[in-house]
Amino acid sequence: MKNNNLLIGAVAVIGALTLFNTYKVMTNEGGRTIAPSTPSAALQTNNQGANFPSTLPQNQNNPVQQPAVQQPSQPALPATSINFKEPKKDFGKVLASSTNRHTFVFTNTGTEPLVISNAKGSCGCTVPKWPKEPIAPGETGEISVEYKPAGQSGVQTKFVTITANTNPATTQLTITGDIQPDPAK
């Protein structure tokens, strides 16, 4: 019984210390001061403006604008161009329980190496795989796409967005299929 009381007391002390430290950090009473890095940050109180928008000054004549969220930058690569032999694939009638694969073939039609930085399906049912190494001018490459329409029915259209050092920076591939219920289910 004595050990249980000690354990309960220790947990209570840890909980109280955690709450106390959280309060100090949240209210900036812990001596932790961060100097503002921008003029708009100087108007924010307790370094809370970006995380607690209600604490921003509400001056209607001089509204404070939130700093823009910066995306991680990619190294600037010279632009090239990409051409897909077949940018659309219609699977026709397929079962909802099926796995459908297609390989999109493309050519670097520009004068610089082609670097694909991302390929993303419009939903989790469409998964692309793309080459990670640069594709030389005039060379071809492949993007494999796997489409699993589980839980879907009727005519479906899905997209794969390719991001590369092209102009424009994104290219869209299209997959369609008429999803039929699985007769075995």
Q: Write the pLDDT tens digit of every residue in 120-157.
A: 999 999 999 999 999 999 999 999 999 999 999 999 99
* pLDDT given at position 183: 84
* pLDDT given at position 42: 41
Domains, the chain, ordered by start: 82-180 (2.60.40.10)
Task: Characterize 20-58 residue by residue with b for buried, 16 or more Cβ atoms within 10 angstroms of its Cβ, and e for exposed.
Answer: eeeeeeeeeeeeeeeeeeeeeeeebeebebeeeeeebee
Distance CA(36)–CA(43), nearest Å, equals 9
* pLDDT given at position 182: 85
CA-CA-CA-CA dihedral for 87, 91, 97, 101, to nearest 10:
-50
Q: What is the pTM (predicted TM-score) of this model?
A: 0.59
Q: 112, 80 in Cβ contact below 8 A?
A: yes
Place of tokens 């959280």: 22
